[in-house]
Structure 1
Amino acid sequence: MATSLPHAIQLKLEQALGQWRQWQCEPALDGAPLIERILAGGHSNWSVLVGTMGRQFVVRVDGVNPAANGINRQHEWTILQSAAEAALAPVPRYFNPDLGVLVCDYLPPEPEQRVDLQALACLLREIHRLPVRHHRLDLAARLASYDKQIQRENLQAWVLLQPHREAVARQFQVCAAEEGPSVLCHNDLLQANRLYSGGTLYALDWEYAANASPWHELAVVVHGDDLTEPQATEVLQYYLQRDATAEEWLRLQRHGYVYRYLELAWYLAQERELLDEEALAYRTTRLTEVYRELSA
């Protein structure tokens, strides 16, 4: 964990704290919050804990242009407001797209961040009940963007993807053809983006939220968290409120294969010095395993 902020991030943070009168707080703040500690930092963004009047907030500052990763901060802000009203996310207090800053309430984490599959399925169901938006997850565009970037910047990585590109394209077409009505999805609801606070399970980091297939969302959770088959069965039972059919399992596998490819392509599109050989090998292996299961 970094102990200091890059100079550019520090300047943006100070500007956001200087605009504390514009934060949407009840009761209104009577002074600028003070920096308490850095919560997370990296290439994409930095999160800093600040506090005043016995209240704490998380200030997130963009490290790179979010549009480079297909992220629309205005859509995120609008969706986050709806999610917070439904008690599914921390309450947003301030948004400044010019600074690349978002401020939300800080949710103190419980000491034990357990994995409760029933609570997870319930959270998914509640998210999918939120109002749909005009913004839709465009997986085809995202895949094409990653492919183009990797082909241009990392030929070795491009070669690594070749055995799967045609198969993924076929499965993606099947997924698109069988897709029903879309719902509002978080689209990145991995365990790292879920938090128990005060006995409630919340969803964090809504930057990829958009209208999408609920089966893509389920595939992200099942494959992103490496759930076992019994665990996946339990999640589907709680989510569907019945046993999943054979066709539904096949649909989950198809979306899982597309997700695993997307996960690997995203990783390969990062700067080379950020890549880890062990993590790369793991993602490659899991993609191959899902393809074998789908082809069996």
Structure 2
Amino acid sequence: MHERLTRALQTWRDWQVEGLQAAPRPLRPLGCGLNNHSYLVASGSQRFALRLAGKKLAANPAWQCTEWQALALAHRAGLAPAPRHLDTNAGVLVCDYLSPDANVAENLTTVGALLRRIHALPQLTPGPTLAARCEAAASAVRYAQPGTWQQLQALAARVGPLLTRLEDTGPQGLCHNDLLRANRVTSGGELWAIDWEYAATGPVWFDLAAVCAGDELDSPARRALLTGYLGTAPAAPDWQRLNLFECGYRYLELLWHIETATDPAAASLVEKQSRLAQCIDATDAH
């Protein structure tokens, strides 16, 4: 990884940055996820976030290009940091680094408003449908962990009919698709969206469900999020759409957890299955 970072820093003359006089130096890791590695790097007073793509993202240059396009659109709208460099062959993305404000309590109404502005951006190439993403993840689990898949078949059978309804439910727009707490930062008094790896045109209610389920928001927080997004208090059909998309998100999250974890904790799997089952029950009740 050190050699890869060194090679990425050596491309600094190709970065779209005015006045960059010297090669940036690494300061510290920004995060080491299951797929990608990010670093804070600096040249003089300028700071950047440099991401080295993991195998899955590095093998998909089209995903990287879509992310770059989404970042550029969002930056021009004041929603994301400026993208500075993309090398799809090396799997390198460089953006401005946004220094987080200290001691800021997040307002979920503001998060909802941020999502509304993201969804108003020009649309890009549609990504795979949620049903297709789930099927790809399910196939990987069936192949690699047939015993675990056997345990999931009852849930999979229940969620399958719901997935077919999702793509035609609600409007489409440019979606971030992963705007969880870790991918939101308040800097300079403004809320920004970072890490646009999964950005694509798709159903906007998936974005809302991802925040609610991914951050495990309670009922008041969900109401604040939807109120900020809709500009008014959510009505019964809004809650029903949210719950439907939460089923899809939780199923995809469960499959992704099984697929990527080398040894998924049994307790975590049971909890995720239970929450998915509760979502399906709530949807069936409507």
Task: Provide TM-score, normalisation by structure 1.
Answer: 0.90
Deviations 1:77-127 (A, max 9, x none): 111111111111111111111111001111111222522012101101110
CA distance in 2, matches of 1:238, 1:112: 22
CA distance in 1, matches of 2:125, 2:213: 27
Q: Is the 8 A contact 1:71 1:207 kept in 2?
A: no
Q: Which moved more, 1:124-133 or 1:225-234?
A: 225-234
Report how far residue 282 of structure 1 moved. Answer: 2.4
Choose from 270, 280, 286 the match for 1:281: 270
AA at the equivalent of 1:198: G
Deviations 1:40-93 (A, max 9, x none): 124411111111121111110113131678971111011111111111111111
Choose from 258, 268, 271 the match for 1:268: 258
SS at match of 1:157: helix
CA distance in 1, matches of 2:210, 2:61: 17
Change in Cα spacing, 1:289 to 1:111, as seen in structure 2 (3 Å) is same
- Residue in structure 2 matched with residue 4 of structure 1 by the alignment: none
Where does the alignment leave 5 or more consecutive residues of structure 2 unmatched?
none
- Residue in structure 2 matched with residue 24 of structure 1 by the alignment: 16
- Residue in structure 2 matched with residue 54 of structure 1 by the alignment: 45
- Residue in structure 1 matched with residue 160 of structure 2 by the alignment: 169
Choose from 67, 75, 82 the match for 1:76: 67
- Residue in structure 1 matched with residue 90 of structure 2 by the alignment: 99
How many pairs were matched up? 285
Equivalences for residues 38-49 of structure 1 within 5 A:
38-49=29-40
CA distance in 2, matches of 1:71, 1:279: 33
SS at match of 1:201: strand
1:207 pairs with 2:180:
no
- Residue in structure 2 matched with residue 148 of structure 1 by the alignment: 139
Choose from 200, 206, 216 the match for 1:216: 206
Report how far residue 290 of structure 1 moved. Answer: 1.4
Choose from 234, 238, 241 the match for 1:248: 238
SS at match of 2:217: coil
CA distance in 2, matches of 1:113, 1:287: 32
1:157 pairs with 2:148:
yes
Note the aligned Cα RMSD (angstroms). Answer: 1.8
Higher relative contact order (CA 8 A, sep 6+): 2
Report how far residue 292 of structure 1 moved. Answer: 2.3
Runs ≥4 in structure 1, deviation > 6 angstroms?
67-71
Report how far residue 187 of structure 1 moved. Answer: 0.6
Deviations 1:243-296 (A, max 9, x none): 3222221111111111111110111111423x2334323212211221222233
- Residue in structure 2 matched with residue 3 of structure 1 by the alignment: none
Q: Which moved more, 1:105-114 or 1:61-70?
A: 61-70
Change in Cα spacing, 1:114 to 1:160, as seen in structure 2 (3 Å) is farther
Q: Is the 8 A contact 2:61 2:88 kept in 1?
A: no
- Residue in structure 1 matched with residue 78 of structure 2 by the alignment: 87
SS at match of 1:72: helix
Task: Provide TM-score, normalisation by structure 2.
Answer: 0.93
Deviations 1:172-193 (A, max 9, x none): 222234x244100101111111
Q: Is the 8 A contact 2:174 2:202 kept in 1?
A: yes
- Residue in structure 2 matched with residue 5 of structure 1 by the alignment: none
1:290 pairs with 2:262:
no
